[in-house]
Chain A
């Protein structure tokens, strides 16, 4: 099956802990993204990455960092979570030009207590 896969589906943790989320795409795409969808359903870009360049949205706190081993994987690490990090984190990928469709994974829902 070709798609965008994310693990875990859900994660509950305490303030100050470190968490990591995984994303893998089997679509053969060359660009991947992390988006944050908050409780008001606002969708905001966090990172975009291809095998040449990482672009970080300027509003993303430094405790967030992407990690990639190859063009099929883009993980997300949060060093010390805070309550406002509670959200759904969506991974997406795209192939070809910037006018191409982005395919989204099912998301990881993070709850910070």
Chain B
């Protein structure tokens, strides 16, 4: 079945350094829908960005990601980390033939230090 794999566990960075969180996926469908959701402490997940177009960069709130079907990847990047970026990040794949339910990766906790 479909699956999503993310950078394991905890990523700790110093403020101002670039961020890259890895996401790869597996699906039999040729046109996948990929999402990044962010969950801050004591909040619920909310959409950060999404993409369905191969090799097209999508951006939101300083973050960007590009869907690469050739490598089944959708890595999340930011040029300069901020303290407020500390959160849990989930990469997700939409199961388009099952009411668009989301198949989440295991989540990556991003911790930004001053």
| Residues of chain A having any CB pair with chain B under 8 Å | 31, 33, 35, 40-45, 48-50, 53, 55, 57, 90, 94, 97-107
Contact = CB atoms under 8 A, between A and B. Distances in A.
B91 to A, nearest CB: 11
Interface of B: 33, 43-47, 50, 52, 88, 90, 94-96, 98-104, 106-107, 109
A55 B100 contact: no
A43 B101 contact: no
Nearest to B92: A43
A48 B44 CA distance: 18
B44 A106 contact: yes
A45 B103 contact: yes
Given A42-B107, A43-B90, A99-B52, A55 B44 contact: no
Contact of B50 (A33, A44, A94, A101): A101
Contacts, number: 64
B107 to A, nearest CB: 5
Output the residue of B44, B94, B96, B103 with the most chain A CB within 10 A: B44
Contact of B106 (A42, A97, A100): A42
Contacts of A42: 104, 106-107
Contacts of A101: 47, 50
Output the residue of A41, A49, A94, A105 with the most chain B CB within 10 A: A41
Contacts of B44: 90, 104-107
A50 B99 contact: yes
A98 B50 contact: no
B101 A33 contact: yes
Contact of A100 (B88, B95, B100, B109): B100
Nearest to B105: A43
A33 to B, nearest CB: 6
A73 to B, nearest CB: 17
19 contacts: A31-B99, A33-B101, A41-B106, A41-B107, A41-B109, A42-B104, A43-B104, A43-B107, A90-B45, A97-B100, A98-B99, A98-B100, A99-B33, A99-B94, A99-B100, A100-B100, A101-B47, A104-B44, A105-B44
